[in-house]
Amino acid sequence: MANHSASLDTAFHALADPTRRAVVHRLVRGAAPVKELAAPFEMGLPAFLKHLRVLEESGLIATEKRGRVRTCRLQPGRLTETERWLSRQRALWDASAERLAAYVETQMEEDETE
């Protein structure tokens, strides 16, 4: 399992901030320019641009500048990559829990035959 993965590092880090999660949540509905994305937040543009940079460097979003407006769009690959790591852990957990349940059952049967 690739626990030591730079892309997971940056993706999880990017998602650890409510502002950035909100941006992702907005972008799943489609691309948007920086100003529109920044509108709902109290902070200044420089701070907001830093968040966008973090998202872009994590590969969660891609941006393109046409004229003077920069358009941001979601890059769903990274989202599914992190989702897959999580679901894999849960799958392992479930398998392990099943093993545990099976073991407990075995023990109970042995108790019966005592």
Partner DNA sequence: TCTATGGTTCACCGTATGGCAAACCATAGC
Partner DNA sequence: GCTATGGTTTGCCATACGGTGAACCATAGA
Among the candidate windows 8-16, 45-53, 64-72, 106-114, which touches a copy of itself by CB under 8 A?
Answer: 8-16
Asked if 89 interacts with a copy of itself (CB under 8 A), we say: yes
Give the residue with the Cβ less far from a copy of itself, 1 or 67.
Answer: 1
- Cβ neighbours around 23 below 10 Å, total: 25
41 contact partners, CB below 8 Å, separation of at least 6: 19, 22, 48
CA distances from 20 to 2, 23, 96, 108, 113 (A): 24, 5, 34, 50, 59
Interacting residues with a copy of itself (CB under 8 A): 1, 3-5, 8-10, 12-13, 15-18, 21-22, 24-25, 28-30, 74, 76, 79-80, 82-83, 85-87, 89-90, 92-93, 96, 100
